[in-house]
Amino acid sequence: MERDDVLLPVEPVFLKSLRSHVYGLVRDAILSGKLKSGEKLNERQLAGSLGISTTPLKEAFRILEAEGLVRSEPRRGIYVTFDPAQAEEMMLARAAIESMIARQAAKRVSEEQILRMRALLIEMRTGLETVDVLELINLNERFHNVIHEASGCAYLRRLQGGQSIYNHTARLSVLSEERERFLAVEEHEAIADAIAERKPDLAEQRMRDHVIRSGEKHLIRVSQSEDQKDRA
């Protein structure tokens, strides 16, 4: 055993399965509204246009079905199931789970993790002044990651990931507002305080309110841009 530690394992990204690839494609199409709710997805036709067989496609459908983005009627077909109401519920689900994670984090956080949160918050303040939105997005994610890590809840974290419906572009759009950037950092600081002081109830409440408030902002933006498309 000599110097194994210097060799990082190669990211196995490039051998991602067809299934997961087409899953991502369809998922994005649904969430972005390219596939309307109620629309029927023809297995063979879609497989044909994607240049793959039906086997990986129907596996992708099972994942989407488990996530609640499509509904499968036996011997009938699979139908898209996603509308603004469900988008809001997914946001609420994210709030519920993320706040439960925050609660657990407040019980288990280490001193080292508290320091890391504080450091990130200071960086956020800086990013606020330099109006570096990209950096702010990155810091936000790292901040939440520290909390996830502190919670020790791998399953909840995974479940939470399934409820995110907004892509990078949408985040950029929301954080383009000065007021929103300011609010986000304020709320993150409040959450960090609650966790650092080991107050589970408070941490949960603040995290929930934060996710719901910023989530509503997203939803409003999306519905507005949908309206614009409709007028066109």
d(CA 104, CA 153): 8
d(CA 38, CA 83): 9
Token pair of 63 as six digits = 């994942």
User: How many C-beta neighbours within 10 Å does residue 36 have?
Assistant: 10
Q: Is 159 in the site for a copy of itself (CB under 8 A)?
A: yes
Least gap, CB of 210 to DNA (angstroms): 38
d(CA 133, CA 130): 9
d(CA 32, CA 213): 21
Which span (113-121, 130-138, 154-162, 191-199) binds a copy of itself, by CB under 8 A? Answer: 154-162
d(CA 202, CA 194): 6
* 95 contact choice in a copy of itself, DNA, none (CB below 5 to 8 Å, kind-dependent): a copy of itself
The nearer residue to DNA, 22 or 109, going by C-beta atoms, is 22
Least gap, CB of 56 to DNA (angstroms): 4
Q: What is the dihedral of CA 162, 168, 169, 172, to 10 degrees?
A: 120
The nearer residue to DNA, 17 or 176, going by C-beta atoms, is 17
Q: Could you give the residue ranges of the DSSP H alpha helices within 152-177?
A: 154-161, 168-174
Which span (126-134, 152-160, 165-173, 188-196) binds a copy of itself, by CB under 8 A? Answer: 152-160
Q: Is 177 in the site for a copy of itself (CB under 8 A)?
A: no
Which span (58-66, 110-118, 129-137, 213-221) binds a copy of itself, by CB under 8 A? Answer: 58-66
Does residue 135 sit in helix, strand or coil? helix
* 65 contact choice in a copy of itself, DNA, none (CB below 5 to 8 Å, kind-dependent): a copy of itself
Q: Is 95 in the site for a copy of itself (CB under 8 A)?
A: yes
- Site for a copy of itself, rule CB under 8 A: 12, 15-17, 19, 55, 58-60, 62-63, 65-68, 74-75, 85-86, 89-90, 92-93, 95-97, 99-100, 104, 153-156, 158-159, 162
